[in-house]
Chain A
């Protein structure tokens, strides 16, 4: 009896050591790079060494200087503009589509749903290249509008997924009672359905916006020197000689991601939504 107990506790100790050790290593490997980038961005030196020498804001000053970093600023503005428009258009189209498909069980509805979700599994590079060939061959010149269209396609599944999930949790009796009390479809939509699924739409819009800001495969093919996008510019800053301002850009993006994350957690409970 006692020997069996010891064997179990030995197994428990080895379990705690191995699982705990690997989990700690996983946490370390997730967190350390973010901390290291933040620390490096405040270096006093001319290169990105770690540990950084001294403390200074020189790379942030260089980054925010409009004359020195005009290209980066334009790329950042383009990126935000594209993300805002592609998310806005995506929200309208995806909300309509989920309202239309939520209660259909037909074959056509299933095909449509599969089609709308397919950008999630399709390699982005294949779509990016296809879009470049298509727009060029039908005679469209590169512009931000084309990038907005491309980003809308690859980010719309995020909005569809969260909106459809909210709709499926909606009690159909609410809809029916509103209509049987004489409310028109539009009135019911405005006063009953939309307010109830708004958190779902909002969470999806947030994910879509972030995915657009982060998008590489579509922007890689559709952006040009005139319609530069931030991730592509940052790639350029890493590819040739390592431009230390990229540490400052990263610092800004880390701070933004952190704040947005807190904001979303408080407003719609993003992590709970992503776990479900």
Chain B
């Protein structure tokens, strides 16, 4: 019997050798057509619109890009947006990594409960998670009530519409994105490695930093990527908790497109968001690949 290379195999519908023959790869055509007409075409048009200079989209030119990138305010907004992503990555890592360690050491029953608790918020609307933080951080919120009750403050603290409040909220909102890849990698680590390290006299700290952290690097990098990409573009959390005075790129895009109707500027801003987020994500995943292992998103 000869072996037919799978990719080139003919699919005969009905009788073998029937009249309707189809190559297997062509089954991907409907989705490919959908992506060409509904995904690539819009993105190409977005690029096209960014090279017009007026909001009626009649005068082609590089004027909008020049104006946008020549404005120091733009660079502050880009910097703030990327910095917000970095802060969210750091806080989710500091809290998420220990939780993943505890998960790794836990018995099967506790693991089931933990993964339920970790995945549940992911299935919960981002809007609900954002709303929760209004209740917690508001003037009459949990934190202020508790601090006032304990007599630690006399005036309610202003936590909403501050970057601190936003970072605290994003820590919870983005936490599952950090935890899932970490847990996925850590639960595949060979427990013998830890036992061997302990048997050779290493303390748990030493085992953590010389054995577990290097081996879980792919999961850590994947988690950082997901949290960074999500926190920098979290429009609802940024506008509701950050307010309108903290301006990040998503708010700028929304204002220019749906409030001011300056489509070329909105296109330039959204491409700037795309380029800046993707370049950080690309750099991180390159680092992740260099550190051994592969990144899976």
Contact = CB atoms under 8 A, between A and B. Distances in A.
A255 to B, nearest CB: 10
Interface stretch (A59-67, A194-202, A213-221): A213-221
Interface string A166-203: 00000010000000001011100000000000000000
A134 B233 contact: no
Contacts of B26: 100
- In this complex, the interface size class of chain A, counting residues with CB under 8 Å from chain B, is 35 or more
Given A97-B28, A247-B131, A270-B119, A253 B125 contact: yes
Contacts of A116: 31, 35
A85 B209 CA distance: 48
Nearest to B140: A49
Contacts of B25: 100-101, 104, 106, 108-109
Main secondary structure of the interface of A (DSSP, over half): helix
Contacts of B127: 214, 216, 231, 234-235, 238
Q: Which of A118, A185, A210, A220 has the largest number of chain B CB atoms within 10 A?
A: A185
A115 to B, nearest CB: 6
A22 B94 CA distance: 8
Interface stretch (B13-21, B60-68, B71-79): B13-21
B195 interface: no
B96 A129 contact: no
Interface of A: 4, 7-8, 11-12, 14-15, 18-23, 25-27, 29-34, 36-37, 40, 47-51, 92-94, 96-97, 99-101, 103-106, 108-109, 112, 115-116, 118-127, 129-135, 137, 149-150, 152-153, 156, 172, 182, 184-186, 210, 213-214, 216-217, 220-221, 230-231, 234-235, 238-239, 242, 246-247, 249-250, 253-254, 257-258, 260-261, 265, 270-271, 274-276
B117 interface: yes
B14 A221 contact: no
B99 A23 contact: yes
Contact of B119 (A4, A230, A274): A274
B101 A34 contact: no
A94 B12 CA distance: 21
B117 A250 contact: no
B169 to A, nearest CB: 9
Interface residues of B toward A: which range?
Answer: 35 or more
Given A12-B203, A125-B233, A130 B118 contact: no
Contacts of B257: 129, 132, 221
A238 B21 CA distance: 56
A56 B240 CA distance: 27
Interface in B247-295: 250, 253-254, 257-258, 263, 266-267, 270-271, 273-274, 277-278, 281
Given A96-B27, A104-B7, A125-B250, A12 B204 contact: yes
